Amino acid sequence: MIYLASGGLFSFNTGFAIWVLISMVIFLFIMAKFAVPPIMAALDEREKNIKDSLESAENALKEAKQISQDNQKALKQAEAEAQRIRKDALADAETIRADRLDKAKKDAEKLLDDAKKAIEQEKKQALSELRSEVADLALQAASAILDAELDEKKNRKLVDNFIKDISSN
């Protein structure tokens, strides 16, 4: 038997080609019917998940920026409030210091006035006692000298007039 060289690389077998074509159509039909929809659904779901993740990340980034801005504003407000509180505290401290200083000055002036009044009172009392004693001594001296000439009433009047003249000088 002699074989013809008909089964080479470039030879075409029609029956085999038809079976390959039918097998391919059935394979593509089965793939399109059962395999491609779940794969496409999975790819669509994956694409949707990626988009949702990207949107969530963008939203989270926007929220983070907003929170950062809010924190900056809150920090600036807190710093301003702290400065205001510090300024108010310093003003209050200055007011308290000035009030205490005024009170201390008034207390010192009152003590000084009270001391002057006490000194004046004691001075008047000492002068009164001195006058009384001088009057008594003058009476005793006068009565010893003028024992017979004047009575005690006249002596008292004379000494009182004498003391008035002395104290007015």
pLDDT, tens digit only, all 169 positions of the chain: 444 445 566 777 888 889 999 999 999 999 999 988 999 999 999 999 999 999 999 999 999 999 999 999 999 999 999 999 999 999 999 999 999 999 999 999 999 999 999 999 998 898 888 888 777 777 776 666 665 455 677 777 877 887 887 777 6
- N-to-C CA span, the chain: 183
- For every residue of 26-79, DSSP letters joined together read HHHHHIIIIIHHHHHHHHHHHHHHHHHHHHHHHHHHHHHHHHHHHHHHHHHHHH
* pLDDT value, residue 162: 79
Cα(47)–Cα(71) distance, integer angstroms? 35
Cα(155)–Cα(140) distance, integer angstroms? 9
* pLDDT value, residue 132: 82
* pLDDT value, residue 34: 92
